[in-house]
């Protein structure tokens, strides 16, 4: 299955992926209208410091502890993608408490949201990857564990 | 052919079913369900009262779950005895069900202390099941004064859930602080203040000496009038079925890391089971939903002849009230690192080069990284802990560790 991978050595720390993510998931076609002057709630975030930086988003784990821990049955895994049914989420943050990668954060409304590889929005492929100016984020197959 | 029987129909049972089916696609599975409903999300009953969810969205699995998993559910039935020699379960209707593997996922029951005069209280509820929540909802169609006995997780979620529906909400507890099972005094005070700002009144370090139909007479001399009483003092693991056959029981049914009990072919999972809390090394009932699922899954895999070990159990809770979240995990032992701001309080506990536990109030960002350090027993010396303690971040791991985490399939 294709996943999003990062290369720290190539990441410039420009945070463009965060903006592209928020835009792709906004449902709007005008980036300025979607993002200008508003706090953004991306599903990917850049971590690190001035020396090293990299983007973190859901790893779509083989055995996702967030899915096993969700108290609302809102998280599930379909065709390898860890998905969230936002209508079920009550914002208890248990997934945030257990994700070892720190890949989950709430949306503006307090309900959780997460990277679904842009398969659920109009972008159709990860917007963070498409917009990365230095190819520090890639979308590729690296094989499943046997 | 194998015949699996699961006593209970909660999240541990769902985990058990999915665990069995990951190994054995065809063996018969029978679930004995006391409640007349499919598995649902128990912790959501307070959100149901609050109007943040509804019955349709509280199902834990889709409507075809049992059918798709080849499971026969006996609704409204109670298991009355186990016959370990003939490997049968006896039900309350006199029938028996044979098993090759049995999983006890019977949950827990509310503990009702013998308060004087409790019988005279007509409007008295527990807060464990969807039926309890629905009954409270009916009761509160008119605004009434509610007294909740118990300032623990269940009592306080109940208080939040019905705050808008009730004329007033008072909570009393024998403990000197709220959430005493997961918070120390100072952290509890922060949460209490926040709850008080939302209209919840507290009578702590106090207990009811006597009840009348509409009043609690407290040890302190206080008299608390109420129209509706909710008892949320605590729960007891349902262990009696197993105890009577001489199985090893402490507070819960004792299990190993494979969820095996002391009796052959009998497993236990969820709130009725007592496994090892790896943060303290002690045996402990960890009555939390993630634990129920993972224990159930492990039991299921092993019942079906597979091999799974669940040796990462720790207490962990994420609980929010009126927008303020408290996250806790592990054991509060060892050296304390603390950070306070106007709006947040963070406490990390370290010992023997390990993160043992934490309390985070209003600062939950990437908290799962801390949780994973406790679960994985990550040596503090292998990370930049000075950085990590200020803010949970994978940037505090070594570059090699990060490559492992982000470079491949995990």
Identify the three-state secondary structure at position B380.
helix
Do B205 and B174 form a contact (C-beta atoms < 8 A)?
A: yes
Q: Residue A80 has what pLDDT?
A: 93
Q: How far is B218 from chain A (nearest CA, A)?
A: 34
Q: How far is B216 from chain A (nearest CA, A)?
A: 33
Percent of chain B residues past pLDDT 90, beyond the cut: 98
CA distances in angstroms from B24 to A41, B3, B4, B18, B69, listed in the order given: 42, 11, 11, 10, 11
Say whether both A53 and A120 belong to one domain. Answer: yes
Of A128, A102, A103, nearest to A19 by C-alpha is: A128
The CATH superfamily holding the domain B323-407 is FAD/NAD-linked reductase, C-terminal dimerisation domain (3.30.390.30)
Q: For A49, name the nearest residue in chain B, comparing CA atoms only.
A: B395
Match 């408490």 to its residue by tokens.
Answer: A97
Do B255 and B102 form a contact (C-beta atoms < 8 A)?
A: no
Residue B260 and residue B262: Cα distance in Å, rounded? 7
Do A97 and B368 form a contact (C-beta atoms < 8 A)?
A: yes
Q: Taking 90 as the threshold, does the pLDDT of residue B322 lie above it?
A: yes
Tens of pLDDT, residues A45-96: 999 988 899 999 999 999 999 999 999 999 999 999 999 999 999 999 999 9
Mean pLDDT of B317-344: 96
Tell me the DSSP string of B120-143.
Answer: G-SSEEE-SSHHHHHHHHHHTTS-
CA distances in angstroms from A41 to A23, A25, A99, A130, B188, listed in the order given: 10, 10, 18, 19, 30
Residue B163 and residue A116: Cα distance in Å, rounded? 36
Q: What is the CATH number of the domain that holds A102?
A: 3.30.70.20
| Residue among B10, B296, B318 with most chain A CBs within 10 A, to mutate | B318
Strand B3-7 vs strand B228-231: parallel, antiparallel, or unpaired?
A: unpaired
Residue A20 and residue B23: Cα distance in Å, rounded? 42
- Which residue range is the domain that position A93 belongs to? 59-114
Q: Residue A145 has what pLDDT?
A: 56
Tens of pLDDT, residues B65-74: 999 999 999 9
Tens of pLDDT, residues B222-232: 999 999 999 99
* 3-state SS string for chain A: CEEEEECHHHCCCCCHHHHHHHHHCCCCCCHHHHHCCCCCCCCCEEEECCCCEEEECCCCCCCCHHHHHCCCCCEEEECCEEEECCCCCCCCCHHHHHCCCCCCEECCCCCEECCCCCCCCCCCCCHHHHCCCCCCEEEEECCCCC
Q: Residue B121 has what pLDDT?
A: 97
Say whether both A101 and A32 belong to one domain. Answer: no
Say whether both A53 and A7 belong to one domain. Answer: yes
Which positions in chain A touch B60 (Cβ < 8 Å)? Answer: 73
Which positions in chain B touch A100 (Cβ < 8 Å)? Answer: 368-369, 371-372, 376, 405
Say whether both A39 and A63 belong to one domain. Answer: no
Which positions in chain A touch B392 (Cβ < 8 Å)? Answer: 102
Do B211 and B88 form a contact (C-beta atoms < 8 A)?
A: no
Q: Residue B203 has what pLDDT?
A: 98
At residue B1 the predicted structure's pLDDT band, cuts being 50, 70 and 90, is confident
At residue A146 the predicted structure's pLDDT band, cuts being 50, 70 and 90, is very low
Q: Residue B409 has what pLDDT?
A: 81
Q: For A59, name the nearest residue in chain B, comparing CA atoms only.
A: B410
* Chain B residues 253-292 within an 8 A CB cutoff of chain A: 289-290
Mean pLDDT of B241-263: 98
Match 């527990």 to its residue by tokens.
Answer: B126
Comparing A25-34, A49-58, B4-13, B400-409, which segment has the lowest mean pLDDT?
B400-409
Of A98, A128, A59, A68, nearest to B404 by C-alpha is: A59
Q: How far is B5 from chain A (nearest CA, A)?
A: 22
Q: Residue B10 has what pLDDT?
A: 98
Number of domains in chain A: 2
Q: Taking 60 as the threshold, does the pLDDT of residue B77 lie above it?
A: yes
Would you call B408 an interface residue with chain A, using a CB distance cutoff of 8 Å? yes
Say whether both A65 and A82 belong to one domain. Answer: yes
Which segments of chain B belong to CATH 3.50.50.60?
3-108+236-303, 118-233
Tens of pLDDT, residues B22-61: 999 999 999 999 999 999 999 999 999 999 999 999 999 9
Percent of chain A residues past pLDDT 90, beyond the cut: 90
Say whether both A46 and A94 belong to one domain. Answer: no
Q: Residue A122 has what pLDDT?
A: 84
Would you call A10 an interface residue with chain B, using a CB distance cutoff of 8 Å? no
pTM of the entire predicted model:
0.96
Mean pLDDT of B160-181: 97
Would you call B383 an interface residue with chain A, using a CB distance cutoff of 8 Å? no
Of A8, A9, A34, nearest to A20 by C-alpha is: A34
Mean pLDDT of A130-140: 96
Mean pLDDT of B212-227: 98
Instruction: Find the CB nearest B318 among A52, A97, A144.
Output: A97
Token duo for residue B10: 């909660």
Q: What is the CATH number of the domain that holds A6?
A: 3.30.70
Percent of chain B residues past pLDDT 70, beyond the cut: 100
Say whether both A81 and A132 belong to one domain. Answer: no
- Round the average pLDDT of chain A to a whole number and report it: 94
Q: Taking 90 as the threshold, does the pLDDT of residue B271 lie above it?
A: yes
* Chain B residues 332-371 within an 8 A CB cutoff of chain A: 364-369, 371
Of B402, B348, B405, B333, nearest to B380 by C-alpha is: B348
CA distances in angstroms from B230 to B1, B2, B107, listed in the order given: 47, 43, 20
Fold of B3-108+236-303: FAD/NAD(P)-binding domain (3.50.50)
ipTM of the assembly? Answer: 0.96
CATH of domain B118-233: 3.50.50.60
């Amino acid at each position: 299955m294709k996943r999003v991978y990062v290369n720290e050595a190539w990441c410039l720390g420009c945070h463009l992926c965060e903006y592209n993510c928020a835009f792709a998931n906004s449902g709007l076609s005008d980036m300025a209208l979607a993002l200008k002057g508003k706090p953004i709630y991306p599903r990917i975030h850049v971590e690190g410091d001035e020396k090293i930086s990299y983007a973190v988003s859901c790893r779509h784990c083989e055995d996702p502890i967030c899915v096993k821990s969700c108290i609302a049955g809102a998280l599930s895994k379909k065709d390898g993608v860890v998905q969230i049914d936002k209508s079920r989420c009550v914002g208890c943050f248990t997934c945030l408490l257990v994700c070892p990668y720190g890949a989950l954060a709430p949306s503006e409304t307090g309900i959780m949201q997460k990277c679904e590889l842009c398969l659920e929005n109009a972008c159709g492929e990860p917007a963070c990857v498409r917009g990365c100016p230095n190819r520090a984020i890639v979308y590729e197959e690296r094989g499943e564990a046997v | 052919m194998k015949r699996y029987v699961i006593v209970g129909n909660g999240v541990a049972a769902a985990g058990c079913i999915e665990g069995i089916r990951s190994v054995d696609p065809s063996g018969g599975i029978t679930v004995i369900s006391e409640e007349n409903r499919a598995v649902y999300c128990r912790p959501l009953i307070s959100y149901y009262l609050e109007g943040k969810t509804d019955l349709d969205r509280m199902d834990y699995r889709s409507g075809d779950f049992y059918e798709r998993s080849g499971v026969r559910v006996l609704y409204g039935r109670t298991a009355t005895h186990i016959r370990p020699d003939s490997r049968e379960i006896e039900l309350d209707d006199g029938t028996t069900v044979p098993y090759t593997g049995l999983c006890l996922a019977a949950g827990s029951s509310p503990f009702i202390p013998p308060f004087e005069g409790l019988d005279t209280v007509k409007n008295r509820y527990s807060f464990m099941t969807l039926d309890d929540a629905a009954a409270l909802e009916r009761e509160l169609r008119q605004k009434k004064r509610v007294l909740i006995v118990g300032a623990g997780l269940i009592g306080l979620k109940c208080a939040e859930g019905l705050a808008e529906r009730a004329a007033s909400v008072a909570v009393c507890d024998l403990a000197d602080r709220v959430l005493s099972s997961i918070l120390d005094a100072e952290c509890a005070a922060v949460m209490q203040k926040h709850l008080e700002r939302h209209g919840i009144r507290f009578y702590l370090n106090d207990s009811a000496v006597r009840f009348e139909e509409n009043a609690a007479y407290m040890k302190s001399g206080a008299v608390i009038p109420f129209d509706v009483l909710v008892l949320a003092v605590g729960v007891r693991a349902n262990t009696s079925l197993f105890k009577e056959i001489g199985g090893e029981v402490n507070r819960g049914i004792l299990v190993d890391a494979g969820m095996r009990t002391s009796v052959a072919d009998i497993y236990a999972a969820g709130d009725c089971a007592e496994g090892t809390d790896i943060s303290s090394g002690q045996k402990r009932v960890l009555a939390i939903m993630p634990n129920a699922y993972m224990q159930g899954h492990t039991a299921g895999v092993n019942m079906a002849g597979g091999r799974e070990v669940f040796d990462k159990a720790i207490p962990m809770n994420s609980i929010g009230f009126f927008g303020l979240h408290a996250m806790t995990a592990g054991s509060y032992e060892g050296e304390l690192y603390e950070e306070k701001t106007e709006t947040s309080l963070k406490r990390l506990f370290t010992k023997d080069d390990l993160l043992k536990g934490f309390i985070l109030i209003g600062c939950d960002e990437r908290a799962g990284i801390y949780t994973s350090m406790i679960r994985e027993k990550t040596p503090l010396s292998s990370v930049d802990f000075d950085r990590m303690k200020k803010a949970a971040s994978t940037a505090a791991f070594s570059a090699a560790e990060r490559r492992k985490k982000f470079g491949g399939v995990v």
